[in-house]
Amino acid sequence: MARPIMNARNDLPVSTGNDAERMLEALRNPQCYPHPVARVTLLETHISWVILTGSYAYKIKKPVNLGFLDFTTLAARRHYCDEELRLNRRLAPGLYLETVAITGSPQQPVIGGSGPGIEYAVKMREFPQSALLDSALARGEVSVATIQALAHRIAAFHAALTPAAMTADAAAAAALAPALDNFRKMLPLLDAPADIAALNAVRDWTQLEHQSRRSQLGERGPAGRVRECHGDLHLGNIALLDGAATPFDCIEFNPALRWMDVISEMAFLVMDLEAHGRRDLAYAFLNSYLEATGDYAGVAVLPFYLAYRAVVRAKIGLIRAVQHGTAGQRDQRALHAWPHYLALARSYAGSRRGAVIITHGLSGSGKTTLTQALLAALGTVRIRSDIERKRLYGLDAAAHTKSAPGAGIYSPVATAQTYVQLAQHARSIAGAGYPVIVDATFLKHAQRAAFRALAQELGVPYVIASFTAPPEVLRARVAARAAQGGDASEAELAVLEAQIATHEALTADELGLAVAADVRGDPAAGARALCDALTHRLQR
């Protein structure tokens, strides 16, 4: 069974003309198509009809006006077919093929053909429902690597978009308006006092969070972070096609629903992965996206957008749950879905406490490997000095500058600038209530002291995760990594030897703030032990 290419976005009943109904009935005939047809299946949403033919799907827009969209004229339907094609080709060029005219008459329609168009359709490559990411996730077929690749794809997509010309006041107002609109639509549908109280609590938090983060939300506009995004990036709108997670079905009918903060778009998928019980994939996506974009300032507004996106899905579930009128007829799946998303929104609206966790260790001591496993377990955002150093110089993370120890991008000045950049990012993350792991060598006492002072200023815990290994092990790891290539770290044996000769060991005072990472045995066991130790320290 194939799934509609377009998911329903509104649950109000609609009516269409007899000509449209006659045309749809006639299009069940395989002879109407310019290619072999395995079978004809008609699927319906409240804004579209989708005709599945085996190899291709044809999406026809209904001649309806639902307020947020108006497809009542043939010219409008053709325009929005073209818009759907243009916008979705940004992320799924192999899926969206062309806008085709339906010619002939309602009684004898022809897909393509000569003569004037009586209707228009978006021609798409058809795919099975099992290819959708939510279905694949349920089967356990979505890997961390798939999610990381998707994060990099979305990051590149956002980077290529033209920023909106937007003032800070406009950006802040634009963030709040759709969030409050969700509550206005949901409250009249609720009867139970507990449900009303729960929704009102999230609404009140949304207003307070917007007020407290108004400056950061507003800064996103002038900073160029509001762009023409996909607009509806949840698991049901992503398919595994040719081995890649491919977003499709973006919002084409209302530009106001596409132009948004890129963090809002990213938050939609983070939230949906968590809602589906995959916190590990949620934090893999979040951290991969942030590493690719460097948009760590956006973490300050992430809780606001996570809660907003959870309420969006709760709203959709609630509408579907009550649309049939009587309790016996209600969509049971939706009836359970909307409280689940509302509970998730409430969790985002809860209190959060940041922390500053720095790593300490020579190159090859396992800092990046072990901290990767901590991201979901601790709800952590990680910053890597190897990546941020290169970002400062406009270099790709995998670029190799062949800088000598203490020279080039590894000069004392470059290193000092890198640690300043790391501190700025750590301030944004910990200040937003997230623990931050700063993955760097931190071989100098002054470097460590600066982050300890930052944690004290923010009033959050400060922990040193100390990584040690015998010199011969470090040399073997560094040599193997350099030979393999592809890593952000450029540390080679000469760098390691310089670190061994000049590093400043933890002082007695610092040892009291440190937890030791065991990097000698199984990395998974070492990560679990480190996670337990850090959790204990952070709960003090």
pLDDT tens, residue by residue, 452-475: 999 999 999 999 999 988 888 888
Residues 428, 453: contact at Cβ < 8 Å? Answer: no
User: What is the C-alpha separation between 76 and 72, in angstroms, rounded?
Assistant: 7
What percent of the chain has pLDDT above 70?
Answer: 93
Select the more confidently predicted residue: 245 or 491: 245
Cα angle at 537 between 524 and 361, to 5 degrees?
Answer: 55
Query: Checking DSSP bridges between strand 435-439 and strand 226-228, what pairing results, if any?
Result: unpaired
- The closest alpha carbon to 497, from 405, 402, 412, belongs to 405
- For residue 526, pLDDT over 90 is answered with no
Q: Could you say which of 3.60.21, 3.30.200, 3.30.230, 1.10.10 is the CATH number of the domain covering 18-126?
A: 3.30.200
Domain boundaries, the chain: 18-126, 133-348, 355-538
- For residue 218, pLDDT over 90 is answered with yes
The pLDDT value recorded for residue 328 is 45
What would the CATH number be for the domain defined by 355-538? Answer: 3.40.50.300
Token digits of residue 94:
């192999």
User: What is the C-alpha separation between 508 and 205, in angstroms, rounded?
Assistant: 43
User: What is the C-alpha separation between 228 and 154, in angstroms, rounded?
Assistant: 13
DSSP code of residue 214? H
User: What is the C-alpha separation between 108 and 22, in angstroms, rounded?
Assistant: 9
User: What is the C-alpha separation between 349 and 205, in angstroms, rounded?
Assistant: 6
Q: What is the pLDDT of residues 301-315, one digit of tens each?
A: 999 999 999 999 999
**Which amino acid, 37?**
V
State the average pLDDT for the chain: 90
Cα angle at 310 between 182 and 184, to 5 degrees?
Answer: 10
Residues 234, 244: contact at Cβ < 8 Å? Answer: no
What would the CATH number be for the domain defined by 133-348? Answer: 3.90.1200.10
In the chain the first and final C-alpha atoms are separated, in Å, by 53
User: What is the C-alpha separation between 141 and 136, in angstroms, rounded?
Assistant: 5
Residue 463: beta bridge partners? 357
Strand residue runs (E) in 367-455: 381-384, 435-439
Single pTM value for the model? 0.90
DSSP code of residue 404? P
User: What is the C-alpha separation between 538 and 354, in angstroms, rounded?
Assistant: 9
Band of the pLDDT at 107, cuts 50, 70, 90?
A: very high
Q: What is the pLDDT of residues 375-420, one digit of tens each?
A: 999 999 999 999 999 999 998 887 776 777 778 888 999 999 999 9
Would you call 276 helix, strand, or coil by DSSP?
Answer: coil
At a CB cut-off of 8 Å and minimum separation 6, what does 361 contact? 367, 441, 466, 467, 468, 469, 517
User: What is the C-alpha separation between 18 and 105, in angstroms, rounded?
Assistant: 12
Same fold, 18-126 and 355-538: no
Token digits of residue 257:
């629903």
Residues 86, 79: contact at Cβ < 8 Å? Answer: no
Residue 440: HSE in the Cβ half-sphere, 13 Å Cα cutoff: 28
